[in-house]
Chains A and B, each alone.
Chain A
Amino acid sequence: MDQTPTIPASAAVAPAGETQAVFDGRRWPLFRLLLVNILLTVVTVGIYRFWAKTRVHRFFWRHTRLLGDPLEYVGTGSELFVGFLVAIVILVPIGGIYSLLQFLTLGTAGYLPLVLDAAYYTLILFLIQVAIHRMRRYRLTRTAWRGIQFGLDGSSLRYALISFGYGLLSAATLWLAYPWLRVATMRYFFTHARFGDTSMTLDASARWLFRRWLVVAIPFGTATALLVVLNWTAASEMMALNQRAAEGQDVSGELAKIWTSLVWWPAALVVAGSLVQVWYRVVEFRYLLSHVSIGRSGLRSDIGAGFVYRVFFLFWILFLGLATALIGGAIAILPEQAATAPEPGNAKAFLSLMTAVLMFFAFFLLLGLSGILRTLLVDVTLLKRACETLTISNPEALEHVAQSSAALPSRGEGLADALDVGGF
Chain B
Amino acid sequence: MNDAVRYTARYFDGRTARPRNVRISIAADGISIYRDGGVFIAAWPADRVVLPERPRQDEPVIVGLDETTSRIAIDDPSATQALLDAFPRAHRRVRTNRRGAIKIAAWSAGAIAAAALLVTVIIPLLSAQLARQTPDAIKHRIGAAALEQVVKLIAYLPGENRRAAYCVDGNGVAILRRLEDRIFAGMADPPEIRLIAVKAALVNAFALPGGYVVVTEGLLENAESPDEVAGVIAHEIGHVVYDHPTQAIFRTTAVSLLVSAVIGDFTGGVLIGAVAEWAINSSYSRDAEREADDFAIERLNETGIGGAGLIRFFERLLAAEGPKEEGAMNFVSTHPPTPERITRIRELAVTGKAESRPTLTPGDWRALQSICRATAARPPAFPTGAEK
Contact = CB atoms under 8 A, between A and B. Distances in A.
For chain A, give the interface size range: 35 or more
B271 A42 contact: no
Contact of A49 (B8, B261, B266): B266
A146 interface: yes
A246 B162 contact: yes
A46 B262 contact: yes
For chain B, give the interface size range: 35 or more
Interface stretch (B140-148, B185-193, B281-289, B340-348): B140-148
A103 B17 contact: no
Given A9-B74, A78-B103, A398-B17, A103 B142 contact: yes
Interface string B53-75: 10000111010000011110111
Contacts of A106: 141-142, 145
Contacts of B14: 147-148, 403
The B interface, classified by DSSP as helix, strand, loop or mixed, is: mixed
Contact of A371 (B12, B267, B324): B267
B18 A400 contact: yes
Interface string B23-65: 0000000000000000000000000000011000011101000
Contacts of A96: 254, 257
Interface in A10-69: 10, 38, 41-42, 44-49, 51-52, 58, 62, 69
Contacts of A84: 264
A127 to B, nearest CB: 14
Interface in A331-356: 345-346, 348-349, 352-353
Contacts, number: 166
A46 B12 contact: no
B145 A10 contact: no
Interface string B151-172: 0000000000111000000000
A95 interface: yes
B69 A46 contact: no
A317 interface: no
B380 interface: no
A41 B266 contact: yes
A14 to B, nearest CB: 13
Nearest to A248: B161
Nearest to A246: B162
Contacts of B356: none
B162 A51 contact: no
B104 A44 contact: yes
A72 B71 contact: yes
A47 B141 contact: no
B265 A108 contact: no
Contacts of B268: 38, 42, 364, 367-368
Interface of B: 8-10, 12-19, 21, 52-53, 58-60, 62, 68-71, 73-75, 100, 103-104, 107-108, 111-112, 130, 138, 141-142, 144-146, 161-163, 249-250, 253-254, 257-258, 261-269, 271-272, 276, 322-324
Given A44-B104, A402-B16, 11 more contacts: A46-B263, A47-B108, A72-B62, A92-B261, A96-B254, A96-B257, A99-B253, A100-B130, A349-B323, A352-B324, A400-B18
22 contacts: A10-B73, A38-B267, A38-B268, A44-B108, A46-B263, A46-B266, A62-B53, A72-B71, A77-B104, A84-B264, A95-B257, A96-B254, A148-B12, A148-B17, A196-B16, A346-B322, A348-B322, A349-B323, A353-B324, A360-B271, A401-B17, A417-B265
* In the A-B complex, the 10 residue pairs with the closest CB atoms: A147-B12, A107-B145, A9-B73, A9-B60, A399-B18, A147-B14, A349-B322, A144-B69, A107-B141, A401-B17
